[in-house]
């Protein structure tokens, strides 16, 4: 159903392009500016490569590389030049784009943020990574939930970032809020390959939702990212699988209308519906209580594993980060961010 990678686009299709971007080294503001230009050039390449493409997706760390550098001089802001350049690139090439930035946070560590920009250059979705890949990543935990937005050709999009996809609750939240296509951007390296594949497929099947995922690719001299763009249909069957070739763009067509049809008409394995309507054959409407202890404990702030005291790694010291001194209080959302969220509904 990939339409030969999107070459033969159907009237109801959304053609996705997943960019296995070459892993950069970004140390200085000049490096940041150069990499911004490179990403914008790849937006133009995607448009030239396939006129039918609706959305081009860049991986996590596309702008900053894998150094985990929190230097304020190379952190981004929503109203900064990097985001402005991405918006122009989408507008000039008449294509939607998904981008990654490490976002300056005056109250603590930077956020690992993702953006979806439409073909008119308007910011449609803004997300802060909820689950940094601890203990490796120093980013502040996200505090604005998981938004969804209207996408190209009557689709509904969601975006999660890398490690987020290892938590089934993340994909479930995307689907629960109406997403028909879930994007997952990442910087993963080869040891995560199997987990990457099975979670991308499980997230799709368990939620009757297309998933489209891509990692950085190639080496920066220290780290090796794996590429492996992956587009999966709502039944869990891969439509397109990428390679390890840097800067390759993996493409496929997905059908949001068929996602909606499956969610309406599937009986067996309509799991996203049946999760909240247990045993509807036996009881009218199914049971709609919450039988899950961990959910109740998360809500009241008492989440605790039976083996909590035996967990060894509880901070980032094993990866060279200092023990944090702040407790999480949700952090105040700036007027700039509040304005973006309000404009998105």
Distance CA 95, CA 100 (A): 17
pTM of the model: 0.95
60 assigned to active site: yes
- Pairs from 104-109 (Cβ < 8 Å, separation ≥ 24): 104/72, 104/75, 104/76, 104/77, 105/75, 105/140, 105/331, 107/331, 107/332, 108/140, 108/326, 108/331, 109/70, 109/138, 109/139, 109/140
* Separation CA 5–CA 266 (nearest Å): 26
What's the pLDDT score for residue 101? 98
Q: Which residues contact 171 (CB under 8 A, 6 or more apart)?
A: 160, 165, 182, 203, 206, 207, 209, 211
Print pLDDT tens along the chain (345 aa): 567 889 999 999 999 999 999 999 999 999 999 999 999 999 999 999 999 999 999 999 999 999 999 999 999 999 999 999 999 999 999 999 999 999 999 999 999 999 999 999 999 999 999 999 999 999 999 999 999 999 999 999 999 999 999 999 999 999 999 999 999 999 999 899 999 999 999 999 999 999 999 999 999 989 899 999 999 999 999 999 998 999 999 999 999 999 999 999 999 999 999 999 999 999 999 999 999 999 999 999 999 999 999 999 999 999 999 999 999 987 666 656 666 656 554
Question: Could you give the CA distance from residue 46 to residue 98 in angstroms, rounded to a whole number?
Answer: 12
Q: Where in the sequence is the domain holding 240, given as residue range(s)?
A: 3-343
Catalytic site residue from 40, 60, 174, 248: 60
**124 catalytically annotated:** no
Q: Residue 342: its pLDDT value, please?
A: 61
Active site residue 129: yes
Predicted local distance difference test score (pLDDT) of residue 3:
74
Nearest-angstrom CA–CA distance, 258 and 256 = 5
Q: What DSSP string describes 135-180?
A: TT--PBPP-S---EEEEGGGEEEEEEEGGGGGSHHHHHHHHHTT-S
Q: For residue 113, what pLDDT is reported?
A: 98
Q: What CATH number does the domain containing 235 carry?
A: 3.60.110.10
- Helix axis angle, 193-207 to 168-176, nearest 10°: 30
Token pair of 26 as six digits = 């970004």
Number of domains forming the structure of the chain: 1
Of 184, 181, 112, 170, the residue nearest 141 (C-alpha): 112
Active-site hit among 129, 137, 140, 228: 129
Please tell me which residue in 90, 149, 162, 174 is annotated as part of the active site: 162
- The DSSP H or E segment spanning 295 is helix 293-300
């Amino acid at each position: 159903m990939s339409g030969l990678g999107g070459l033969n686009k159907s009237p109801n299709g959304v053609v996705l392009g997943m960019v296995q971007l070459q892993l950069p080294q970004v140390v200085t503001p000049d490096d940041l500016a150069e990499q911004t230009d490179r990403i914008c050039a790849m937006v133009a390449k995607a448009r030239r490569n396939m006129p039918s493409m609706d959305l081009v997706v860049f991986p996590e760390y596309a702008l900053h590389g894998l150094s985990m550098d929190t230097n304020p001089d190379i952190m981004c802001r929503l109203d900064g030049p990097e985001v402005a350049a991405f918006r122009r690139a989408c507008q000039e090439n008449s294509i939607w784009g998904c981008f990654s930035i490490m976002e300056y946070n005056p109250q603590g560590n930077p956020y690992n943020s993702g953006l979806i920009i439409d073909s008119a250059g308007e910011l449609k979705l803004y997300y802060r990574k909820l689950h940094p890949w601890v203990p490796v990543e120093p980013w502040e935990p996200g505090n604005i939930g998981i938004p969804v937005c209207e996408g190209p050709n009557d689709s509904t999009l969601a975006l999660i970032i890398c490690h987020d996809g290892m938590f089934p609750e993340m994909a479930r939240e995307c689907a629960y809020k109406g997403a028909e296509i879930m994007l997952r951007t990442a910087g993963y390296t080869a040891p995560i390959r199997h987990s990457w594949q099975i979670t991308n497929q499980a997230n799709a099947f368990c939620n009757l939702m297309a998933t489209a995922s891509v990692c950085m690719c190639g080496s920066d001299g220290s780290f090796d990212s794996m590429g492996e763009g992956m587009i999966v249909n709502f039944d869990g069957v891969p439509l397109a699988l990428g390679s390890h070739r840097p800067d390759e763009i993996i493409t496929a067509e997905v059908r949001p209308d068929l996602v909606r049809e499956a969610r309406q008409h599937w009986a067996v394995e309509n799991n996203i519906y049946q999760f909240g309507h247990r045993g509807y054959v036996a009881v009218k409407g199914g049971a709609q209580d919450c039988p899950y202890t961990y959910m109740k404990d998360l809500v009241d702030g008492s989440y605790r594993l039976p083996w909590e005291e035996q967990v060894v790694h509880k901070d980032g010291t094993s990866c060279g980060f200092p023990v944090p001194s702040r407790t999480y209080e949700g952090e105040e959302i700036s007027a700039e961010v509040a304005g973006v969220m309000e404009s998105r509904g």
